[in-house]
Structure 1
């Protein structure tokens, strides 16, 4: 089993490296592999160097970083809620973070990145808090959690549309940010987001044992000496941070963690020690593949990547709902 897992990791890393390198060739100006190598390592004053380092390299790194962060946050939610449909976008966290971005763009469109990140985080925290209030008042069940999330989604969607109506002059930049796009990727954004998201990813990987114990139930976790409520709250804070900061980079994307976790479980199973690295790799690759597909199909214009992922995610959500209908009770 270990041999197969290590072989899987090696092959996945090789494929990821190839995919990352290939992404640098795709764009309005198609580059060959030779031109990419030349621009990366040799001709620092060439046009290839500027194209790669100013636009494509930060975009590909952003794809990997946000893809892995969103996918892993979805996995954590599914384990601690024991709900295979739990997803930051379905629970309103992404939409809340997106609403925070809309507010700051409407008020101060040229604010500093830390302020931009803070509003995104506040929106995500607000959404998570509302979910907690609703589920506490009506009682928790997997289905009620999803329904509460959809209610929060609808609320933030309505508020976002209201801002677009009352501030039409800001609608262009807002629409780009709320539909999920990698067009704003830059080294400046990565400078602030990269350290936070990497720390969150490493923290989760170091605490997989606790996540696994939590997934076994409160009684088992308590009997092993874990403070269940504090631990769940702490992991939820990490999830909200990962989602909010990912959204502040690329905007909210529907169903992304759901898609990645669904296929990851089909391939490697539900052991968190194996699933977590698989989810990170699959999430990074899927985000980059989606971006490559959109850039190939629409090479002369920028199309929101969120639209492509949402189209893929809708049937998967329906399939997952049917698959789990016997164990989901109101």
Structure 2
């Protein structure tokens, strides 16, 4: 057995009022049919048990640490307890539980950095709920980077990637208003994003020489300056620099012709200039089976590519496809990283 298979994946509960509990239970209940990789659920065992009963599942919940999780997984759902401060009602988020939500993430990072867990999978959170409790990060990605920096003492640039069977796409700028993108889009940020993406595609995805396609910012990649100067002044020089460093990279390309079947066959990853430029095609091509992967961290992190879906919570209609894909990808990335060390 691979060393990573001796350690569980660390699955955080996300917002317990959302569908994170539902899909986590589905992943365990169907573990044999779906061949779910062993995980330890980090969250409130009472809330999980209550949700299981509401959904009609018979689930044995076993409180444990990472050491006993893989063995326990066959017969019981392993849970590392992080208790909620307030009772959980499906579809009704409560900022009183923000501490448990972020505490589960912090626990997962600590365990993975210690080597007790092989990778992190995060269930969806609702940032507005956390903001009411003083959460100061734009999202999951930035919070994870801060935790990594605190544990390593090294500055980190988290890079968000949506990875599906038909497309891997990376936005250079992430959770900022569209009007702020041109100001935030620097040559240094584009360069570092590309370097981190190529490095992790090699080390974690096992691609020996990743092919990178870079989207322009403006329509038609600026049309030689007629539709904007950023493509030629900022993006193109970065691409030329990376070519001299041996990266297989093309662009800037018009984004409206980058994502059809023939175009996607020419590259492994698309580097896009802003959030929706990357996520719209990624989700359109693989909404149920795409995975949110954070590159540039000292640990592996994946997540379903959907939100909390409060309106679906506790009703037995949420689909676990994306979570299952996230669990499988996290396990594969952990295995690849382990092989790379040997």
| TM-score category (smaller protein) | under 0.3
- TM normalised by structure 2 equals 0.27
User: Relative contact order (C-alpha < 8 Å, sep 6+): which is higher?
Assistant: 1
Higher strand share: 2
